[in-house]
Chain A
Amino acid sequence: MTAPAQTASATILPFAEPVKAARDTRPLRLITCGSVDDGKSTLIGRLLWDTKAVKEDQAATLARDSGKQNDLGLPDFALLLDGLQAEREQGITIDVAYRYFSTDRRSFIVADTPGHEQYTRNMATGASTADLAILLTDARSGILEQTRRHATIAALMGIRQFVLAVNKFDLVNYDKAIFEKISHEFREFALSLGVRQITAIPMSALKGENVVYSADSAIPWYDGPTLVETLELATVRTAQAGGFRLPVQRVARPGESFRGYQGTVAGGSIKPGDPVVVLPSGVVANVKQIVTFDLVRNAAVAGDAITLVLDRQVDVARGDVIVSLDGQPMTGLHFDAQLVSLQPGGIEPGRRYWLKSGSRRQRVTVEPISQLELSTGKWRPHASTLAMNAIGKVRLSFEEQAVFDAYEQNRSTGAFILIDPDTLNTVAGGMITAKRAELGGIHTEGQRVLMSLPADLAEQIMASELFANRRDETEIRRLTAKQAVELFSNAASDI
């Protein structure tokens, strides 16, 4: 059915707003998150609406699709975000929607993420690149387990600025006590995640109160900033500190005489003449040239997509990392990491996955060590499969040398995904915390005890705090009772 088209004179009319000055800052990347139905999509819809990012024809479509609307006679702003048919049918968000808007001060890229637990992976997708998280709660229900899950994932992924939107405030009579209770509870929780920068705002996404316009009449006691004021003042993640990092995406050889290493600078800076090391091989060379389309450049910084030419013939392949001689990343076969399990099969101990980080893909096995218990915020020992949506600490073991920074130091070279070797789907997102000492190296001295225990008793011992704390000093093999008997009889005969 063709909607009544606008008239042929679709002249572009001047809008009662000044032409925006060219932006001179990078856009702030933010996400909305929180439990299902707390009003995330409505909030972003309202934000787009009030910043005039919704065009006339889109507004007409919105009015048509909103149907009988709500009690307040307002359009269903969430429909500006929930663009999939399944989402409209079910009235929930399933996948992230990316939107772009700007105020006179700056531009924004916002990812509206789904609250439903089943789609946590899509929330993680949005969170991985964000500078700031708007965490919503329904003022009537407060902080729920899903709210905690989202806040935790956002914090793990390095988001350090939070806005707590105490939403649907119109439905609790704008009660100050409720706002204070929820924001107090959240502050306590956020501190435990290491997040200190929190702005709590009482809000009605639907009515647009404290979103772009302040709500002086409805909430006279609140004298803090509106959402947009907060966003305008937020900081964009600064370029990665530390040494130069160039994960090599391609080796460009357009002719005999030219060999360039193409990639995006993932940290630090570089200029011609600087000494570099190629990892994992460890070969050293100097930078001869930084080539880009426009001109040969005299420096490149984090974020730049460049082609690097070295001063000598060295063996460099896709997946290698070219780094500064000073301040090198960690290389090794064993690393500690935190990860979020994203698919129904979970992350299985001992299974071989593909790990991709930067441009490097290699085989890895994952050994879960502990899992975060959302209700208490405590890490519990956990050595079995990390189920979908679980947040775990794991140990990664590689077959070939791996190269990483800690995620805290570098959000590019410290991040990875796991790919299932059968389905080829992305099954986890992870963050490197540290390099492990090579097993064997620290265990060649002192006495060791080999015990053979019933599996259930071993589980209990391994579940203890004491054991978990020294897990990296132990080695465990699961055997049948028969194998154990054999092993022990052999060992006995050796002594």
Chain B
Amino acid sequence: MPLSVQETEVKNPPVSRPPLDPHLKALENEAIHIFREVAAEFEKPVMLYSIGKDSSVLLHLARKAFHPGRVPFPLLHVDTTWKFREMIEFRDEIAAKYDLDLVVHTNTRGAEEGITPFSHGSALYTDIMKTEALRQALDAGGYDAAFGGARRDEEASRAKERIYSFRTPDHKWDPRNQRPELWNIYNGMIKKGESVRAFPLSNWTEVDIWRYIQAEDIPLVPLYYAAERPYVERDGMMILAEDPRLKLLPGETVQRGMIRFRTLGCFPLTGAIRSTASNLDEVIAELEIATVSERQGRAIDRDQSGSMEKKKREGYF
């Protein structure tokens, strides 16, 4: 069906929001530029969609970049089958609401061999259900560019990564030999089999993400906001206790309290924080005085020093 500007405006009615402050506006412009450049230069881009707050911002920016057209590439969700229930519900709602092509991939080998975060430890589990699964999905789709929501402020090896991050045919990242990346001129030339991970949010900080979510009224999985929820304390983390696959160990009890999540991943590996911040204003206020980083709640980053770099070299996002 032909789509005119007017028709599109009906689908996305202009809302009267105060204009973005210049800082967020500059970040938004940069991200939109990257989206358009990748979409124009690569044959088969895909957007990694992890359902979290960064992915939600990424998706919002993609919709802005290609307006009044549709988002011209599919969204890929690597489903480990251990995500929070509310994440999956949210994902399906969003895909329907915004008319998106959603591709969901699960590593069937992992599922068949019964690899779970409980039985195999976070390192092996992540390797198979996330890293290997992602490689499978990218190969299967023949994608030559994949957008990700990673930010340089997240972790020391991410701080080193280019906006166009080059990958060999077996998805390896060589941090010692990255292409120079000058101005905002991106080199999108690759050989067959090679690919690029593109990071439109590279220069955003966690506070920027939240302030943008607020300014643009972007919907999020409710787990980011504090509510009274059941949880179990394990290895110094508060794990959400709602999935029947979580078996209590001797001495453990299900407790209830006001908690929320700063990042979302697989529920057994993602720790909650105690918080009463039940809306955006409160989350931002809490964040601006936070004394620990957001990744503090993630089991996989704490496994060993330099662990993120190692995972990235092997093809983790």
A residues neighboring B (CB under 8 Å)? 1-15, 17, 19-20, 22-27, 55-58, 61, 64-65, 80-86, 88, 94-100, 107, 109, 121-122, 124-125, 128-129, 249-250, 252-258, 260, 262-264, 289, 291-296, 303-305, 307, 309, 318, 342, 354, 356-359, 411-412, 415-417, 419, 424-426, 429
Contact = CB atoms under 8 A, between A and B. Distances in A.
Contact of B28 (A8, A19, A296, A305): A305
A5 B299 CA distance: 9
Contacts of B157: 83-84
B63 interface: yes
29 contacts: A5-B237, A6-B292, A12-B289, A19-B285, A23-B21, A24-B23, A94-B176, A95-B175, A95-B176, A100-B153, A100-B205, A109-B203, A124-B182, A254-B69, A255-B1, A255-B7, A257-B4, A258-B5, A258-B68, A262-B36, A264-B33, A293-B64, A294-B17, A305-B33, A354-B189, A358-B185, A424-B189, A424-B191, A429-B182
A309 B32 CA distance: 18
Contacts, number: 241
A185 B235 CA distance: 58
B302 A3 contact: yes
B156 A294 contact: no
A1 B307 CA distance: 11
Contacts of B274: 9-11
A80 B63 contact: no
Interface string B15-38: 101000111011011001100110
B184 interface: yes
4 smallest beta-carbon distances between A and B, as pairs: A83-B156, A5-B236, A254-B69, A255-B3
B293 A424 contact: no
B160 interface: yes
Contacts of A429: 180, 182-183
B65 A55 contact: no
Contacts of B25: 303
Interface in B123-165: 152-153, 155-160
B25 to A, nearest CB: 8
A15 B291 CA distance: 7
Contacts of A23: 21, 23
B297 to A, nearest CB: 7
B40 interface: yes
B96 interface: no
Contact of A125 (B65, B70, B180): B180
B159 A99 contact: yes
A83 B29 CA distance: 28
B178 A95 contact: yes
A8 B236 contact: yes
Contact of A12 (B176, B183, B235, B292): B292
Nearest to A19: B288
Given A12-B286, A291-B5, A291-B67, A357 B185 contact: yes
Nearest to A107: B23
Given A19-B288, A55-B291, A25 B4 contact: no
Contact of A260 (B63, B68, B70, B179): B68
Contacts of A12: 273, 275, 286, 289-292
Contact of B203 (A57, A98, A359): A98
Contact of B68 (A291, A417, A419): A291
Nearest to A260: B68
B182 A257 contact: no
A303 B25 CA distance: 9
Given A81-B159, A252-B68, A264-B32, A356 B187 contact: yes
Contacts of A10: 271, 273-274, 292, 296-297
Interface in B225-256: 233, 235-238
Interface string B261-299: 000000000010111000000000110111111011101
A5 B271 CA distance: 11
Nearest to B310: A85
B105 interface: no
Contacts of B181: 125, 426
A304 B28 CA distance: 9
B50 interface: no
A254 B9 CA distance: 13
Given A294-B17, A429-B180, 8 more contacts: A12-B273, A27-B26, A95-B160, A121-B180, A263-B36, A291-B5, A303-B29, A305-B33
B148 to A, nearest CB: 16
Contacts of B12: 293
Contacts of B203: 98, 100, 109
